[in-house]
Structure 1
Amino acid sequence: MAKATKKQALGRGLSALLKDPENDINSAKDKNADKVVGSIVELDIDAIEVNPFQPRTSFNESALQELATSIKELGVIQPITVRKIDFNKFQLVSGERRFRASKLVGLNTIPAYIRIANDQESLEMALVENIQRQDLDPIEIALSYQRLIDEISLTQEQLSDRIGKNRSTIANYLRLLKLDPIIQTGMRDGFLSMGHGRALINIDDLELQLEVYEKVLADSLSVRDTEKLVKSVQSSGSLSSEKTKNTPKVPKEIKESVKDFSSYFGAKVDVKVSKKGNGKVIIPFSSQEDFERLTKLIHSEK
């Protein structure tokens, strides 16, 4: 307990040092920089702004509330990381969930590691740290990879070395960004897994891609079933032919009778037959009056 109190007091002391205009630290060479950079400092929450480079764009509200409850009871166990951007002004590099949860419970200060970094270094630190998290969805990871490639000017090989992932893994994530935005949203919301996404990306036609996506959701298809469906659609060129292939053929005798039904009712009667041989007859009507007309025809046969 004594050690924790001493550490907290030290953090408050460093915080006071940062608020002293005569000790404004802007680089690792400045006076007292060695005391602050890399140390845990109690910072005013109001002196911290969120990181515009944060790859995560959505936060689960219930999980955030649970974290807020934990922080209220136990405090912030793992410090956030910030970079100094101006006198007594800081920007989050990592730990936005802890920062948001701390604000929810009304904390005035939060423990933080201080870094001195330019925008590019801050972006790289934020992206690389977030990529290592276990709770990012596949699209968030893919967007982080793409930003590192575009904004830090890394090749896939350099990115592979930087984050310790195989180049093929990186390529598979990046391919997900070619999916229709609606499907990407479905993945972010947890309706599809990365395996589903990797199967759907093989369909170049975005309209057809969406049709297959809707069928995957409607039928709760597994990844393996989705892969089979995609191969079938690729060979046929459409989803409608896949539906026709799986729909049992109506026997010739029934087709002939349907013509008689249509003629009698004055409407195009449809028949659906299951694989077991049973089925149903569908008689359409266009209005209330038309329905009454059909009803009279049926009653007249009694």
Structure 2
Amino acid sequence: MAKAVRKQALGRGLSALLKDPTNDINSVQDKNADKVIGNIVELDLSAIEMNPFQPRTNFNEESLRELASSIKELGVIQPITVRKLNFNTYQLVSGERRFRASESLGLKTIPAYIRIANDQESLEMALVENIQRQDLDPIEIALSYQRLIDEINLTQEQMSERVGKKRSTIANYLRLLKLDPIIQTGMRDGFISMGHGRAIINIEDQSTQLDIYTRILQDKMSVRDTETLVRNYNESKALEDPKAEAKAEPETPVFVKKSIQDFSDYFGHKIDIKVAKNGKGKITIPFHSEEDFNRIKKLVQSAK
């Protein structure tokens, strides 16, 4: 308990230091910067402004009330992170839920880590930290990844290293942004899961995506059922009969079957012959090198 009181008192002491204009800290080289950077400081809520780079846009009111209740009982356990803008003026980098909940309780101060960062660093810090949170919806995560690409110019490989996620995982989130906006909203509101979205994205036409989305909601389809529906649609191109099998290729005529081996023996390769329903077809002769191509060319010329 004594440790907690000492830590809190230290935070108040640092807070007083930051309010002294003669010791204003604007860079890591300034006097007393080492006492502030990396330490927990009690900051006035009124001195902190919202982060325009915040990737999170959807805040659940009930969840905020629960957090406020927890803060009322236990205090802010995990400090927020801010960056210094000017004298006694800070910008929120991460911890907006904790900030909002504390504000709703009428608290005057909040424990915070202070960072010295430029706009780009602040954006990257906010995006990376938020991506690693467990309570973001899939679209918020996807938008954060896209902003790291567009505004920080990170590649998927670099993002993989920064956020500790596989590149394939990042790619799967980014693909969700190709969904119709109505479906994206449905995912954010919890009507469908990311698994549903990953299945629907395999259909390019957005009007068809919406048809399938509507059917998922009406029939309360599972992710597996959705995957089957999409797979069957792509095979049959007909939503009316999602169980329809892909149309079978026409059977190879007998005269072609009897001749395939002769062609293969003559050219020294396995020859592929396709025949359409109207009786027309094509013969495919593979080759493996320039030398092989010239060999086949001579065989064709000698057959003239």
TM-score range, shorter chain: 0.7 to 0.9
Once the two structures are TM-superposed, the CA of residue 211 in structure 1 deviates from its matched residue by 0.6
Q: Per-residue deviation at 1:59?
A: 0.8
Structure 1 gap ranges (5+):
246-302
Give the 3-state SS of the residue equivalent to 1:190 in structure 2: coil
**RMSD (CA atoms):** 1.5
Q: How does 1:34-53 map to 2 (within 5 A)?
A: 34-53=34-53
Counterpart of 1:102 in structure 2 is 102
Name the structure 2 match of 1:148: 148
- Give the CA deviation at 1:222: 0.8
Partner of 1:20: 20
> Any idea what SS the aligned residue of 1:239 has?
coil
Aligned to 1:162: 162
Count of residue pairs the alignment pairs up: 245
In structure 2, C-alpha distance between the alignment counterparts of 1:173 and 1:230, rounded to whole Å: 19
Q: Distance in 1 between matches of 2:37 and 2:115?
A: 6
Aligned partner of 1:37: which letter?
Answer: I
Pair 1:111-2:111 in alignment = yes
* Residues 1:69 and 2:57 are matched in the alignment: no
Q: Distance in 1 between matches of 2:113 and 2:186?
A: 36
Hey, what's the Cα distance between the residues in 1 that align with 2:35 and 2:7? 13
Q: Is the aligned partner of 1:204 residue 2:195?
A: no
Deviations 1:256-297 (A, max 9, x none): xxxxxxxxxxxxxxxxxxxxxxxxxxxxxxxxxxxxxxxxxx
Long gaps (5+) in structure 2: 246-304
Q: SS state of the match for residue 240, structure 2?
A: helix
CA displacement at 1:136 relative to structure 2: 1.2
**What is aligned with 1:293?**
none
Q: Secondary structure at the match of 1:217?
A: helix
Q: Which amino acid aligns with 1:188?
A: R
CA offsets per residue over residues 131-175 of structure 1, 9 Å max, x none?
A: 111111111111111111111101111111221211111111100
Q: Return the alpha-carbon distance in structure 2 between the equivalents of residues 171 and 243 of structure 1.
A: 30
CA distance in 1, matches of 2:20, 2:184: 48
Contact 2:236–2:244 (Cα < 8 Å) also in 1: no
Q: Any conservation in 1 of the 2:232–2:244 contact (CA below 8 Å)?
A: no
The change in CA–CA distance for 1:244 and 1:3 in structure 2 (over 3 A counts) is: closer
In the alignment, what sits opposite 1:249? none
Q: Which amino acid aligns with 1:224?
A: R
- Quote the Cα distance in structure 1 between the aligned partners of 2:99 and 2:16: 20
Kept in 1, the 8 Å contact 2:176–2:198? The answer is yes
Question: 1:241 Cα deviation (Å)?
Answer: 4.8
* Cα offset, 1:242, TM superposition: 4.1
TM-aligned CA deviation for residue 218 of structure 1: 0.5
- TM value normalised by structure 1: 0.78
- Give the distance between the partners of 2:238 and 2:101, measured in 1 at CA: 48
Runs of 4+ in 1 over 3 A off after TM superposition: 240-245
- Alignment check: 8 A CA contact 1:80 1:95 kept: yes
Q: Is the 8 Å Cα contact of residues 232 and 243 (structure 2) preserved in structure 1?
A: no
Single out whichever of 73-82 and 96-105 deviates more from structure 2: 73-82
Q: What residue identity is the alignment partner of 1:126?
A: A
Which residue of structure 1 aligns with residue 275 of structure 2? none
Q: Structure 1 244/234 Cα, relative in aligned 2: closer, same or farther at 3 Å? A: closer
Q: Is the 8 A contact 1:208 1:238 kept in 2?
A: no
Separation in structure 2 between the aligned mates of residue 9 and residue 225 of structure 1, nearest angstrom: 58
CA contact (8 A) 1:44 1:109 kept: yes
After TM superposition, the score normalised by the length of structure 2 is 0.78
Partner residue in 1 for 2:80: 80
Shift of 1:69: 1.0
Match of 1:126 in 2: 126
Counterpart CA distance in 2 for 1:160 and 1:108 is 39
**CA distance in structure 2 between the partners assigned to 1:244 and 1:156 by the alignment:** 38
Tell me the amino acid that sits aligned with residue 190 of structure 1.
G
